[in-house]
Chains A and B, each alone.
Chain A
């Protein structure tokens, strides 16, 4: 299957401010996370994808089509904007229904689909309340409902977890996962790093308008060979373990982080994991657990942006 999104050398200026700077990346099927700090260019990229911003340079395709002024393409995606201002006087039902009517759905179908979508995001009980009475998390869910109510092929979600309460976050992630399992594609931007790991390993990292890495989270991490890989060792004998692993050629640093553990940095994680059991046995050490904090997306991102 062709890429859901293909962007090549995409640039966008806001006057003298650079929104995107030669962004190049492809987003495949399933869920892809677009990760970057505020101002990195995530929203700019999404606005270009939905045809509401025109790139100054480069080429972009959504579902193999140019999104700028492409009205028929709008039926094929659902968009959940980042901003939290919606028509507060509307009930959630009316809000979703109105946007479905703009898709061309007859009134009865729009009402049914709105009700279904609100049920999917867990807003059935509150669906007849005005949106101004909603919490921020509930509004996020209402926006998600309008994005997926018309059964789009692609969901484009700009910071869907922003401001959501814990229950709302779970509900949103559950909805996104269900949608993807049923064959939909999701592009989701966030800076809530640990939560995107729950739904996907496919990520695109963006910083200062540039795509700095894309692919599988672990594959990206493996590419960063110039950065030492950190391994946290849980042991009641941190000093003894430190002395034992210090002799390994590829170990470049050891931190005695806590009384019952230490953090080892190695340039060859594969060799480290292969050799450690032998060292533990030879020295009669008590090692109770290993954990790699580098598996977290945050660590990858921190490394990549320096």
Chain B
């Protein structure tokens, strides 16, 4: 007769994958932003003003564009709304500038990176936080405009549908650019005020001089407008919605914005890979 002993195996807790860990960083980051008064103000007021102005454009479209057919070109109007520029910049400054800088300053980065996540995981999660919030200003109003127009019967469904799709594409280009630039600047410093100033500097510091210098009374060189991200975005929007004219070509503007977005993202990735969490 033989007796065999039972064998036991230890039951390990199944560990969740990368996506769940990223989701944790994103939800923690969003929860944090929705507790900060400056972020709440920017999110709330920014979304409200850009959306309300977009709705205004729809309701008063027949008066604003008298004599013009209400086709796809109409949707360039809400896209070129200066409130979008202002609040997207403000959002990138208030939220984006602190996303990495705050973690560097408070050493929360030490705690994050002591867990099994890579710098790229961290960066992707931070980008998702900022992109989600910027989209509320850069995509949502552009999307709501044709939707409302469709519901009110102002636009045919195919035009409205095309405009909604273009809103996502055009708004995403702007979102990606601001997300990439804001995170890059945020990764360079422990002081978010520096990064925030950098976001405003890159936006308005390039836009205003480019406009002044490109004017016929100055250098009369429209190509200078390529230097301004907002002008590039407007060119892309014009191209997308089929608006003729404009001082610069949309393919070049798109290439510039995408290239800068990719380069800034790559630079931030390399910086985060190499970042050494020095004791403060």
Contacts and interface: CB of A to CB of B under 8 A. Distances in A.
Nearest to A109: B13
A74 B115 contact: yes
Interface in A47-76: 47, 50-54, 69, 71-72, 74-75
A80 B78 CA distance: 50
Interface stretch (A85-93, A197-205, A229-237, A270-278): A85-93
Contact of A83 (B25, B32, B110): B110
Interface string B86-114: 00000000000000000001111011111
Contacts of A82: 279
A53 to B, nearest CB: 5
Contacts of B118: 69, 71
Contacts of B117: 71, 102
Contacts of B106: 83, 85-87
Given A83-B107, A83-B280, A89 B116 contact: no
A98 B28 CA distance: 8
Nearest to B108: A87
A102 B277 contact: no
Nearest to A158: B279
Interface residues of A, number: 34
Contact of B279 (A43, A50, A109): A43
B13 A102 contact: no
Contact of A87 (B15, B20, B32, B116): B32
Interface string B16-38: 11001100110010001001000
A14 B280 CA distance: 12
Contact of B111 (A43, A51, A77, A146): A146
Given A99-B111, A101-B16, A102-B116, 18 more contacts: A43-B279, A47-B279, A50-B114, A52-B113, A53-B276, A69-B118, A81-B111, A81-B114, A83-B110, A86-B108, A86-B111, A89-B32, A98-B24, A102-B115, A102-B117, A104-B16, A104-B21, A106-B16
Interface of A: 14, 43-44, 47, 50-54, 69, 71-72, 74-75, 77-79, 81-83, 85-87, 89, 98-99, 101-106, 109, 146
